[in-house]
Amino acid sequence: MISYKEVGLVNTRDMFAKAMKGQYAIGAFNFNNMEQMQAIIAACVETKAPVILQVSKGARDYANINILRNMARGSVEYAHELGCDIPIVLHLDHGDSFQTAKDCIDNGFSSVMIDGSHLPYEENIALTKKVVDYAHEHDVTVEGELGVLAGIEDEVSSAVSHYTRPEEVVDFSTRTGVDSLAISIGTSHGAYKFTPEQCTRNAEGILIPPPLRFDILEEIEKELPGFPIVLHGASSVPQEYVKIINEHGGKLADSVGIPEEQLRKAAKSAVCKINIDSDGRLAMTATIRRIFDEKPAEFDPRKYLGPAREELKKMYMHKNVDVLGSAGHALD
């Protein structure tokens, strides 16, 4: 058993209490490799923002849990070396079973999500409670989910979304003991969050997605005052990255994300954690495609992964400062 405390990480409890009070949200950024991790930490140190490093089941399979834990340990030391001991959480994203969650808790994770959102309600409660009971014995915090997002959720893919039912949230959170709750109010995973038919088009032909259901969020906040809420599927799919990708041999037609001003509004509410993965993938891919196209003789990975890391850092800094409002709150 390796405790996250030995690794220098923190759980989400204090972080969320401060975010709730300060009306901002913490960035939960997915990572699978060293460049992503370095970019996230450098951006959060430079903007003095707390951060959640997020690992999906796919990332675990890709990178190996021991390597990921040691990267998280390295990120704590890296932040220190860069001059600011920002609070860092290592979080399991979309945990699919008790065993996966336990394995992460036993391997130095400070927070886990157990995603039973696709299960019948009572089964979601039973699975989530089992994880909470184990996690809390180790002072690890747990995120549960009610409602289903459209799009790809790790290996679970759903064609349609079911909004969270506000009448269920008190019963779910009391019976499971979760520390935070992921909800479905119209966000969606991946770079194709809505079909063109679900959107309108502006004068330039850019797809405008349907607005988030802030009415449902408000009802949830009334039911659970002061309870930390999580938004998944919150990438904005910046069209400048899509354009670069398409101009350099890529093919991302009709990709669309969540407008940043809606996320800014959500971050000022009970939403304390906002998950962003796809925007990082787009930033890296756009940079690498451009370099491959412009410098076909280049074959040193540092010459394209380095600039991709710089672009990622810029993107995460922008999220902390202009979208989440977490900048400047690392030492609250």
Residues in touch with Zn ion (CB under 5 A):
232
Nearer to ligand 13P, 154 or 310 (CB): 154
Chain residue at closest Cβ approach to Zn ion: 232
- φ, ψ of residue 279 to 5 degrees: the values are -60, -35
Residue 115 binds ligand 13P (CB under 6 A): no
**Residue of 35, 96, 143, 277 that binds ligand G3H (CB under 6 A):** 277
Residue 30 binds ligand 13P (CB under 6 A): yes
> Are 86 and 317 contacting, i.e. CB atoms less than 8 angstroms apart?
no
Residue 124 binds ligand 13P (CB under 6 A): no
Catalytic residue among 14, 61, 85, 93: 93
> Are 182 and 144 contacting, i.e. CB atoms less than 8 angstroms apart?
yes
Smallest distance, Å, CB 83 to Zn ion?
32
Residue 255 binds ligand 13P (CB under 6 A): no
**Residue of 38, 47, 56, 255 that binds ligand G3H (CB under 6 A):** 56
Smallest distance, Å, CB 267 to ligand G3H?
19
Residue 59 binds ligand G3H (CB under 6 A): yes
Which among 38-46, 56-64, 124-132, 282-290 is the span making contact with ligand G3H, rule CB under 6 A? 56-64
Residue 117 binds ligand G3H (CB under 6 A): no
Known catalytic membership, residue 93 = yes
Nearer to Zn ion, 176 or 188 (CB): 188
**How big is the site for ligand 13P, counted in residues (CB under 6 A)?**
13
Smallest distance, Å, CB 3 to ligand 13P?
24
SS3 per-residue string spanning the chain:
CECHHHHCCCCCHHHHHHHHHHCCCEEEEECCCHHHHHHHHHHHHHCCCCEEEEEEHHHHHHHCHHHHHHHHHHHHHHHHHHCCCCCEEEEEEEECCHHHHHHHHHECCCEEEECCCCCCHHHHHHHHHHHHHHHHHCCCEEEEEECECEEEECCEEECCCECCCHHHHHHHHHHHCCCEEEECCCCECCCECCCHHHCEECCCCCEECCCCCHHHHHHHHHHCCCCCEEECCCCCCCHHHHHHHHHCCCCCCCCECCCHHHHHHHHCCCEEEEEECHHHHHHHHHHHHHHHHHCCCCCCHHHHHHHHHHHHHHHHHHHHHHHHCCCCCCCC
**Residue of 7, 11, 20, 30 that binds ligand G3H (CB under 6 A):** 30
Nearer to ligand 13P, 62 or 295 (CB): 62
- Footprint of ligand 13P on residues 205-244 (CB under 6 A)? 232-235
Integer Cα distance of 243 and 315 in angstroms: 16
Indicate which of Zn ion, ligand G3H, ligand 13P, none lies near residue 59 (CB less than 5 to 8 Å, by partner kind). ligand G3H
Smallest distance, Å, CB 274 to ligand 13P?
9
Catalytic residue ranges: 93
Q: Which residues of this chain interact with ligand G3H, rule CB under 6 A?
A: 30, 56, 58-59, 93-94, 153-154, 189, 277
